[in-house]
Amino acid sequence: MTKSAASHLLPVFARVDLGFERGEGAWLIATNGERYLDFTSGVAVNALGHCHPHLVAALQEQATKLWHMSNLFMSPDGERLAARLCAQSFADFVFFANSGAEAMECAIKVTRRYHAAKGHPERYRIITFEGAFHGRTLGTLAATGSPKYLEGFGPPLDGFDQVALGDLDAVRKAIGPQTAGILIEPLQGEGGVRAAPHAFFKALRQLCDENGLLLVFDEVQTGMGRTGELFAYKRLGVAPDVMSLAKALGGGFPIGACLATAEAASGMTPGSHGSTFGGNPLAVAAANAVLDVMLKPGFFEHVQKMSLLLKQKLAAVVDRYPNVLAEVRGEGLLIGLKAVVPSGDLVAALRDQKLLTVGAGDNVVRFLPPLIVTEAEIDESVQRLDRACAVLASGQLKQAAGK
């Protein structure tokens, strides 16, 4: 074997040939000096933009004090972060992990163990929804249920029953003596910014209560302000029993969390779960700093205001280019543009205009600006979208003329 590969990174990502060396708020500066407006936010991670001064200061200070000391000892700052997350939510307990998939693994284990501890180990199955995304570990892949991601990795973990999003009858039929819970994203991110009616979530809550099931929300993408509230479930008027967080929790520093009520967590005892890095002091310092900023008065009002502005302006562009764009969807600053042209072409055309966006399922392009985005930056993004659409539309005309 020669060792001549151009890249030694495992080729599992289709990377764009563009590298960055610096970020400032909503902007990224490429290695060639060009400035890009970043509406990927590292896939809904950099909620406070790049290099937010409060986050930088918190991490720098922590870096001089203590990086890591394991979960063998007390964690005062971890306690504080957990208490703040519980004070802001339905939850009584928090487990810290390092990623979304790990937070979801914990949520699945909590759900299964809850029933086992009550004398029903046969109740381990979880109902999930088509178009879902819960992560890339073997367990969360099985929950995701996408054949494309599961192929070639052996038999998927047993215990997930997938039904169509929004189909209450299918959920009812899927509930059996082995069912432990229902797992759903308040708003599907990777699946294409797909929503279900609020009434559907209320009905799920009721079904869970009637059947002794746990309701689990995957808020890895929707959580931490992305949809205009700290947690998306607050808008639905329905609280879960278990919830996962990750992406924006550390503002760019890897950290995930699984939150649960005391009742839902009642099966989790010393030794039943663990993590070497989970709740590491650096990660906890970053997440506490994120909360400092998000819990200041007016933060979510700003997100909601920018959301309305962006959605209105995007809708006007959709009207101008009906052969390029189909519709605007989403909540807060988790916004999807369903394209008529292939969504990958739109992402590339936007990149040519120095606007970075993220593709999703259902031929959708996600606009995920940092939550601190300004009105001027929203305007700038819409102008760039308009130019990209003009390019794509003229390409269509040329193609039609050539035929």
What residue ranges bind ligand PLP (CB under 6 A)?
99-101, 104, 133-135, 185, 189-190, 218, 220-221, 246-247
Minimum distance, C-beta of residue 367 to ligand PLP, in the bound complex (Å): 15
Closer to ligand PLP at the Cβ: 201 or 321? 201
Minimum distance, C-beta of residue 6 to ligand PLP, in the bound complex (Å): 26
Maximum Cα–Cα distance across the chain: 71
Minimum distance, C-beta of residue 234 to ligand PLP, in the bound complex (Å): 17
Minimum distance, C-beta of residue 188 to ligand PLP, in the bound complex (Å): 8
Minimum distance, C-beta of residue 140 to ligand PLP, in the bound complex (Å): 7
Residue 48 corresponds to which amino acid? L
Closer to ligand PLP at the Cβ: 221 or 307? 221
* Tally of CA atoms within 13 A in the half-sphere of 271 that contains its CB: 0
- Using CB atoms within 10 A of its CB, is residue 399 exposed (0-12), middle (13-18) or buried (19+)? exposed
Minimum distance, C-beta of residue 98 to ligand PLP, in the bound complex (Å): 8
- Using CB atoms within 10 A of its CB, is residue 263 exposed (0-12), middle (13-18) or buried (19+)? exposed
Asked if residue 331 lies in contact with residue 195, where contact means CB atoms within 8 angstroms, the answer is yes
Closer to ligand PLP at the Cβ: 246 or 365? 246
In angstroms, rounded to a whole number, what is the distance separating the alpha carbons of residues 178 and 211? 11
Closer to ligand PLP at the Cβ: 40 or 353? 40
In angstroms, rounded to a whole number, what is the distance separating the alpha carbons of residues 90 and 148? 35
Closer to ligand PLP at the Cβ: 360 or 388? 360
In angstroms, rounded to a whole number, what is the distance separating the alpha carbons of residues 255 and 235? 24
Q: Output the six-digit token pair for 53.
A: 């001064």
Minimum distance, C-beta of residue 189 to ligand PLP, in the bound complex (Å): 4
Closer to ligand PLP at the Cβ: 247 or 338? 247
Q: To the nearest 10°, report the CA torsion of 257, 185, 369, 89.
A: -50
- How would you classify the pairing of strands 93-97 and 256-260? antiparallel
Residue 328 corresponds to which amino acid? V
Asked if residue 213 lies in contact with residue 181, where contact means CB atoms within 8 angstroms, the answer is yes
Minimum distance, C-beta of residue 135 to ligand PLP, in the bound complex (Å): 4
Q: 312's torsion region: left (phi>0), alpha (psi -120 to 50) or beta?
A: alpha
Closest CA relative to residue 299, chosen from 225, 210, 231:
225
Cα dihedral 127, 130, 136, 142 sign: positive
Closest CA relative to residue 253, chosen from 218, 221, 290:
290
Closer to ligand PLP at the Cβ: 222 or 307? 222
Q: Which residue is nearest to ligand PLP (CB)?
A: 100
Minimum distance, C-beta of residue 387 to ligand PLP, in the bound complex (Å): 29
Minimum distance, C-beta of residue 133 to ligand PLP, in the bound complex (Å): 5
Closer to ligand PLP at the Cβ: 55 or 246? 246
Closest CA relative to residue 358, chosen from 384, 336, 325, 387:
336
Minimum distance, C-beta of residue 392 to ligand PLP, in the bound complex (Å): 27
In angstroms, rounded to a whole number, what is the distance separating the alpha carbons of residues 114 and 124? 9
SS3 315: helix
Q: Rounded to 5 degrees, what are φ and ψ at 6?
A: -65, -35
Closer to ligand PLP at the Cβ: 226 or 384? 226
Closer to ligand PLP at the Cβ: 20 or 149? 149
Closest CA relative to residue 244, chosen from 92, 78, 101, 34:
101
Closer to ligand PLP at the Cβ: 185 or 229? 185
